[in-house]
Amino acid sequence: MDNTRKKNRGRRAYFICLTIYTLALSVAAVFALSIVWNFAEEYEASRPGHAIEAYVKELSENQWVDSIADTLSAMPHEAQSNAECAELVREMLSKDITYTRKAGAGAASYALLCNGSEFGRVTLVEDQDYADRVKFGMLPWKVDTEEFDFTGLYSTVEITVPSTFTVELNGYELEEQHIVEKDIKLDVLEDYYDTVPNLPTKVTYRFENAIGELTPTVYDENGEEFLVDAAKDDSQYIVPCSDAVLARLSDFAYEFSDRYFHYITGLTDPVYGYDRLSTVMKLGSDLDERMKRAMDGLSWAHTSSLRIDSVVLNGGINLGDGFYVADVSTQTTTFQPGQGEVVGTHNMKIVVEDSANELRAHSMELY
């Protein structure tokens, strides 16, 4: 009986010791695992990639950090408000943002990319505020500096318009300092710049501080909005002649044709013919000088008769300052010795000046 009791007490003591030992091992294991877990957490937090990923995630969600506003304020954008520029940046940052380590700049410096183009740089440093909280000396990282470069959003607006026109961008009027070229001839008036003073010219405006795309608004000399058609020539800038002016040019075309062809064919005495023609010419003009030089040869002309069959004003161009171009087609029938009657069609462009309510020809070219 005593032996049985002794065996039971020994067995009980054994299991108690085993239990105590097991509990001690468990406590030691839990303590060791706790140390390993804390080490792993501290190690994970100490990786700079963790901080940059969190930064990029926040930037992607908000499309904004305070230093972006400072960057935009420092960028010239006279034609746009800060809010308008901010909206363009937000739109850009709503797209996929990625990052990459800056080559040669250390593990804590990263380039920020949007659609593969760099727009900023972030530098990370160890956060010393956690020095008393970490157990293994591995500090987490925080953003130290942010640098943004949105110059890639800049675009250049360039437009060529008549010098009397006004150009606005988003309500901002372009001025003299934006003009990069002056005195550009209108293509449809190329032939008249040497003859007619003060012909209209064009200027080219260039604005290089547009953030994003800006469409220019053009106003004519009367302040009316003008839609420039890039597919058209410069005739779109020419003021059309009124019906009253066209009627006057038509009457002038007949009178000029009658006196010009009677003079140039030598049908009349050259002096008399010149005197008649001079009443519809600007004295001292290019045309006047040409007619004087032709006078000596007119005595050799062999035309014996002339009939003006028709005079048609094909159109008129208003050059401004009282100058016009009359496009005239005249059909004549002349009698030439040895040839008989000769019918001819003569197309002319006549530069006409309206001075003191009197029309005078400055130049005339056959075409």
- Dist. CA 260–CA 273, nearest whole Å: 8
Which pLDDT band, with edges at 50, 70 and 90, does 246 fall under? very high
Over residues 177-204, the pLDDT tens digits come to: 999 999 999 999 998 998 888 999 999 9
Percent of the chain predicted with pLDDT > 90: 68
* φ and ψ of 249, to 5 deg: -65, -35
Q: What is the pLDDT of residue 25?
A: 62
Q: Which residues pair with 316 in a beta bridge?
A: 326
Predicted pLDDT of residue 340: 84
- The pLDDT of 356-362, averaged and rounded, is 95
Model's pTM, two decimal places? 0.77
Specify whether the CB–CB gap between 201 and 162 falls below 8 A: yes
Q: Which whole number is the average pLDDT over 248-277?
A: 95
Per residue in 46-74, pLDDT tens?
678 889 999 999 999 999 999 999 999 99
Give the side-chain half-sphere CA count within 13 A for 253.
26
CB within 8 A of 241, min separation 6: which ones?
249, 316, 317, 318, 324
Cα–Cα distance measured from residue 177 to residue 283, given in angstroms and rounded to the nearest whole number: 42
Instruction: Write down the residue that tokens 């040497």 correspond to.
Output: 194
> Which residues neighbour 297 within 8 Å (Cβ) at sequence distance 6 or greater?
none
Cβ–Cβ contacts within 10 Å for residue 295, how many? 14
Q: How distant, in Å, are the alpha carbons of 44, 59, 130, 275, 311 from that of 50? A: 8, 14, 16, 98, 89
pLDDT average, residue stretch 304-322: 94
336: pLDDT confidence band, cut at 50, 70 and 90? confident
Task: Identify the burial level of 323 via C-beta atoms within 10 angstroms of its C-beta, where 0-12 means exposed, 13-18 middle and 19 or more buried.
Answer: buried
Residue 222's pLDDT is 94
**Per-residue model confidence (pLDDT) at position 7:** 59
Please give the Cα distance from 322 to 187 (Å, whole number): 20
Q: For 136-171, write each residue's pLDDT tens digit.
A: 677 888 999 999 999 999 999 999 999 999 999 999
pLDDT at position 83: 95
Mark residue 183 as left, alpha or beta (left: phi above 0; alpha: psi -120 to 50; beta: remaining): left
C-alpha R_g of the chain: 46
Q: How far apart are CA 120 and CA 112, in angstroms?
A: 5
Q: Residue 346 pLDDT > 60, yes or no?
A: yes
Tens of pLDDT, residue by residue over 92-111, are: 999 889 999 887 655 689 99
**Which of helix, strand or coil describes residue 300?**
helix
Whether residue 33 is predicted with pLDDT greater than 60 in this model: the reply is: no
The neighbour count for residue 276, using CB atoms within 10 Å, is: 16
Instruction: Identify the pLDDT of residue 45.
Output: 62
pLDDT in tens, 263-303: 999 888 999 999 999 999 999 999 999 999 999 888 777 78
The reported pLDDT for the residue numbered 20 is 72
For 142-169, letters b (16+ CB in 10 Å) and e give: ebeebebebeebeeebebbbbeebbbeb
Q: CA 249, CA 189: separation in Å to the nearest integer?
A: 19
Q: How confident is the model at residue 245 (pLDDT cuts 50, 70, 90)?
A: very high
Looking at residue 27, what is its pLDDT? 63
Is 158 or 7 the better-scoring residue by pLDDT?
A: 158
- Percentage of the chain exceeding pLDDT 70: 86
In whole angstroms, give the CA distance from residue 237 to residue 163.
11
Neighbouring-strand partners of residue 339: none
**Where does the pLDDT of residue 6 fall: very low under 50, low under 70, confident under 90, or very high at 90 and above?**
low
Across the range 203-226, mean pLDDT stands at 97
Looking at residue 32, what is its pLDDT?
53
Residue 33 is classified by DSSP as: H
What ranges make up the beta strands (E) of the chain?
97-101, 109-114, 117-126, 141-148, 154-162, 166-169, 172-173, 179-185, 201-211, 216-219, 225-226, 305-320, 323-336, 340-355, 358-366
* Residue-level pLDDT at 60: 92
The residue to which tokens 């008989």 are assigned: 340
User: What mean pLDDT is reported for the chain?
Assistant: 89
What pLDDT, on the 0 to 100 scale, is given for residue 15?
65
